[in-house]
Chain A
Amino acid sequence: MHPYEKKIYITLLIGIIVLMALVVFFVITILRYHRKMNNLRREKIKEEINSLDKEKERISFDLHDDLGASLSGIKLRLHGLGGLDKVNFDKVVNIENQLDEVMNRLKAVAVTLMPRILQRRGLDKALQALLKEFSNTTGIEVTYKCTVDAFNADIAVHIYRIAQEVLTNIAKHSKASHVTFTISRNRHKIELNIIDNGIGFNVKAASRNNGGGLGLQNITARAELLKAEIFLTSDKNNGVTYQIEIPAA
């Protein structure tokens, strides 16, 4: 080989190596950047959801403790009214009943915002109460089974919120008559299964449509926070299955 030829080859080789190194460097940088952006985005969603949850908790507390106590106080003042004739007494009792009604509604709003039962009694009891209420208001029958006895508090809030969103979806759109709700756990993950027997929906269209409605977006965001996987399956007139697998911490 001519010495010049050799030199050219070596130069070429070095050039190729340098070029490859550059390409590898760029690819890694881009990937890193991408991952960083993704993490940032996830952090941002997490922050948003957490601050929203906090805000909800505060409003719930105010509604319940402050306004609730005020209404109870007013009711007690009515109890204390003396010297009423029969007609006026009946009117007062009527007002008391209306106050009770307002209080019940206020309580319902407060509970939806932040169920205290979740913090005090844990996820299982909170879900039982949620499903009972759901069943009472919608007339949809519910079968519930939970075989997990303890949850991390963070996970519990998100599972509860996901359950709320899913149930709202079911109540609004599904026309279902029955819902099966199960939570189970194996060594690696907690599995949440919610199955309705309603009219179903087009999963592909829903996910294409900018991640579905607000409800579905919320579910997806929370699932992402839990690093969970969601499997939505549905057929027309064959109900919907929401399957959510959360890695067990």
Chain B
Amino acid sequence: MNKKIKVIIADDHVFYRDGLCSTINADMGMQVIAEARDATQLLKMVRSLEPDVVVTDLRMPGDGIKAIQQLSEEGFLRIIAISSFENDDLIIEALEAGALGYVMKNANRGEIEEAIKLVFDFIPYYSQSTSPGLLKDILKSNFNPYKEQETGIFTEDERRITTFICEGKTTEEIARILFLSTRKIDRIRRSISKKMNVKTISGVVIYAVKKGLYSGPPY
């Protein structure tokens, strides 16, 4: 069996820490090795315990965003930000500070574990509950986890359908435009998501825009 992913969590709220712990530890592939109450504690713990992934709240004593900034300057990149719905601009700040993914406080079942697994592999994770407004802000922001402009892995069909997705078209609409069955479109969409390593439409759009696959106005 592989070694478990070592996780440190940080949140000033004890109930929430308990919840995070029990959901993460319930996954056989990962383990919470320490819990921090504030930014200072988090920094100390990361330096001494060398976790694989950090999951941190943004609004806590000592400022979660500053902690993310500090960690990323020290070369620690596998950071997931947790935020509540209303704090879109905090999420942007966290991503620009160096977080590689974000989940909402009120995450769906399995989301946090999924985020941890992806970020562990240095793959960005975008919450399933990303609102159109937040997506727009991410596209405008300086956040770009995709350094190289390598886009040759996509077929002609995949590129065209990516463009349609970025324009906000549904599978049915794309099928009508391309005279293809919706099943075929769905298959291509799955292949696109797989190549991009993203789970949501927002993920596709962010990847496409940040990698220069799509340059038109989104939505």
Which of A's residues lie within 8 Å of B, judged by CB?
64-66, 68-77, 79-82, 93, 96, 100, 103, 107, 116-117, 120
Contact: A65 with B59, CB < 8 Å? yes
Known: A66-B13, A69-B13, A70-B13. A77 touches B23 (CB 8 A): yes
Q: How far is the CB of A187 from chain B (nearest CB, A)?
A: 33
Contact: B13 with A116, CB < 8 Å? no
Contact: B89 with A80, CB < 8 Å? no
* Most chain B CB atoms below 10 A, which of A73, A76, A116: A76
Q: For the complex of A and B, list the 8 residue pairs with the smallest distance between their C-beta atoms, beginning with the closest.
A: A76-B19, A80-B22, A73-B19, A73-B15, A73-B16, A80-B26, A80-B23, A79-B23
Residue of B nearest to A79 (CB): B23
In the complex, which of the residues A72, A116, A117 contacts B105, with contact meaning CB atoms closer than 8 Å? A72
Contact: A69 with B16, CB < 8 Å? yes
Known: A68-B105, A69-B105, A100-B106. A76 touches B23 (CB 8 A): yes
Which residues of A have CB within 8 Å of B59?
A: 65
Q: How far is the CB of A73 from chain B (nearest CB, A)?
A: 3
Contact: B23 with A72, CB < 8 Å? no
Which residues of B have CB within 8 Å of A66?
A: 13
Residue of B nearest to A64 (CB): B84
Which residues of A have CB within 8 Å of B106?
A: 68, 71-72, 75, 100, 103
**8 further interface pairs, Cβ-Cβ under 8 Å (given A69-B105, A79-B22, A79-B26):** A64-B84, A66-B13, A68-B84, A68-B106, A73-B13, A73-B20, A93-B109, A100-B106
Contact: B15 with A81, CB < 8 Å? no
Which residues of B have CB within 8 Å of A74?
A: 15, 19
Cα–Cα, bound, A103→B108 (Å): 13
Asked if B110 lies at the interface with its beta carbon under 8 angstroms from chain A, I say yes
Q: How far is the CB of B131 from chain A (nearest CB, A)?
A: 11
Which residues of A have CB within 8 Å of B17?
A: 73
Asked if B180 lies at the interface with its beta carbon under 8 angstroms from chain A, I say no
Contact: A70 with B15, CB < 8 Å? yes
Which residues of B have CB within 8 Å of A68?
A: 84, 105-106
Return 15 A-B CB contacts under 8 Å, by A number.
Answer: A64-B86, A68-B84, A69-B84, A70-B13, A72-B16, A72-B105, A75-B19, A76-B16, A76-B23, A80-B22, A80-B25, A81-B22, A82-B26, A107-B85, A116-B86
Chain B interface category by residue count: 20 to 34
Residue of A nearest to B82 (CB): A72
Asked if B185 lies at the interface with its beta carbon under 8 angstroms from chain A, I say no
Known: A76-B107, A79-B109. A70 touches B16 (CB 8 A): yes
Contact: B13 with A76, CB < 8 Å? no
How does the 8 Å CB contact mask read for B57-89 relative to A, with 1 for contact and 0 for none? Answer: 001000000000000000000000000111101
Contact: A117 with B86, CB < 8 Å? yes
Residue of B nearest to A115 (CB): B86
Cα–Cα, bound, A66→B25 (Å): 24
In the complex, which of the residues A69, A79, A116, A120 contacts B15, with contact meaning CB atoms closer than 8 Å? A69
Cα–Cα, bound, A107→B106 (Å): 12
Within 8 A of A (CB), among B13-43: 13, 15-26
Asked if B112 lies at the interface with its beta carbon under 8 angstroms from chain A, I say yes
Contact: B22 with A77, CB < 8 Å? yes
Cα–Cα, bound, A176→B105 (Å): 38
Known: A65-B59, A69-B13, A70-B16. A76 touches B22 (CB 8 A): yes
Contact: B13 with A120, CB < 8 Å? no
